[in-house]
Structure 1
Amino acid sequence: MTDFDDLLAANRTFADSFSLTGFDGIARAGVAMVTCMDSRIDPLGMIGLQPGDAKILRNPGGRVNDPELVALVLGSHLLQVNRVLVVEHTRCAMASSTEEQIHQRVSDSTGTDATWMSIGPISDQKRQIRADVHRVTSHPLIPDSVEVGGFIYDVDTGLLEQVV
């Protein structure tokens, strides 16, 4: 027995009816989404898409950082991405704590100083979304033809609010 037996058993059940074979890796709906790693978010379901339709990039807070920019450059040139959604969400831990508070919580949990790590909390979600959208739209390797929007997802209603 391993700590992963339940997940491996679920994978075998999943594989028994696996129907996603043969995809070529492009975003069939031309969509990429940068969103938070929060487990309350179903990125494809919230916008009516299916596996194979979109590229999903997740991180704490749904920020557009350097790795996400690289993925968006590749997506826009190699994977038929022509629309990008930057999606933060309500009741996000990254938007409800300071850097110091998060460092303290991690330090308390681990018994180790975590102040060396840059967390990047979000003090104003709408301002951050506008800034992250600007990072995408102003990137020299992302074509002007790529449409970029910024949104807040309400984890209690399932609705998206467009910010920009």
Structure 2
Amino acid sequence: MANVNTDKFLENNKLYASGEQVHNSAHPGKQPINPAKHVAVVACMDARLDVEDLLGLQTGDAHIIRNAGGVVTDDAIRCLIISHHLLNTNEIILIHHTRCGMLAFTDDLLKAGLEGDPAAEELLGKATGRKFTSCNHSSSTPAQFHAFRGPLEALDSPCNEQQMERLSWDVRRSISRIMNHPWIPTEGPDASTVRGFIYDVDTGKLEEVSYPGPMGTFG
């Protein structure tokens, strides 16, 4: 399976991390609808990630799908299926990052805080460094927040070995969701490649996550 564009973007990232500008922000004029580099990126919505800059993407090169955590949710899968089958992408890049907010809570904790549990409100306030204000209502949606597995840490904690392990677990889970989805081929003549990375928000560098490997536990 071809990874020619992904490998090129990794080279671009080295230039970006060293301070070189590799993304041209000027409007390029009329372009075709299919991404020129046949790439789809799933990345976190964190404000410190400028996906075009850190990969050296130009306007029209790739589909960029963003959400809290860069999680491969049902909606991300929906986007990837459309991206591949209708718009001719065949390389998928997943990007998580250090100091991610998804490390600072659990789904149950956030739901309890939103519903008005005082203990949960206090814990969330300590984790975020701001007063957590409950909505005092329950809701069936969203069904999941997709918080990352493992012991909680304060919001925006400096990167360490445990944090990298937790991030790697979730990158592998996201890769697995794609690799095992029946409508996203990763073998045969219509195959897409799937690779996952952790972006260091302090250095600007990408580190690849091996797959397969540990994905963590619920404990």
TM-score range, shorter chain: 0.7 to 0.9
Residue 80 of structure 1 and its aligned partner are, at CA, apart by: 2.1
Residue 89 of structure 1 and its aligned partner are, at CA, apart by: 0.8
Mapped contact 1:44–1:54 kept (Cα < 8 A): no
Residue of structure 2 in register with 1:103 after alignment = 111
Q: TM-score, normalised by structure 2?
A: 0.61
The amino acid that maps onto 1:138 is N
3-state SS in 1 of match to 2:92: strand
Residue of structure 2 in register with 1:138 after alignment = 180
Alignment of 1:82-121 (within 5 A): 82-103=90-111, 106=114, 108-113=132-137, 116=140, 117=142, 118-121=144-147
**Distance in 2 between residues matched to 1:120 and 1:114, nearest whole Å:** 18
2:60 is equivalent to residue 60 of structure 1: no
Mapped contact 2:27–2:59 kept (Cα < 8 A): no
Residue of structure 1 in register with 2:169 after alignment = 127
Mapped contact 1:88–1:152 kept (Cα < 8 A): yes
Task: Give the counterpart of 2:207 among 153, 156, 161.
Answer: 161
**Distance in 2 between residues matched to 1:56 and 1:45, nearest whole Å:** 12
**Distance in 2 between residues matched to 1:100 and 1:139, nearest whole Å:** 27
Task: Give the counterpart of 1:78 among 58, 62, 86.
Answer: 86
2:23 is equivalent to residue 28 of structure 1: no
3-state SS in 1 of match to 2:30: coil
Residue 105 of structure 1 and its aligned partner are, at CA, apart by: 5.5
Q: TM-score, normalised by structure 1?
A: 0.80
Change over 3 Å in CA distance of 1:149–1:104 after alignment to 2: same
**Distance in 1 between residues matched to 2:26 and 2:42, nearest whole Å:** 26
2:40 is equivalent to residue 42 of structure 1: no
Mapped contact 1:76–1:143 kept (Cα < 8 A): no
Give identity over the alignment, percent: 35
Aligned residues: 148
CA RMSD across the alignment = 2.1
Change over 3 Å in CA distance of 1:115–1:155 after alignment to 2: farther
Unaligned runs of 5+ residues in structure 1 are 1-16
**Distance in 2 between residues matched to 1:157 and 1:106, nearest whole Å:** 34
**Distance in 1 between residues matched to 2:52 and 2:87, nearest whole Å:** 17
Residue 132 of structure 1 and its aligned partner are, at CA, apart by: 0.9
**Distance in 2 between residues matched to 1:150 and 1:115, nearest whole Å:** 33
**Distance in 1 between residues matched to 2:113 and 2:101, nearest whole Å:** 12
3-state SS in 1 of match to 2:202: coil
3-state SS in 2 of match to 1:150: strand
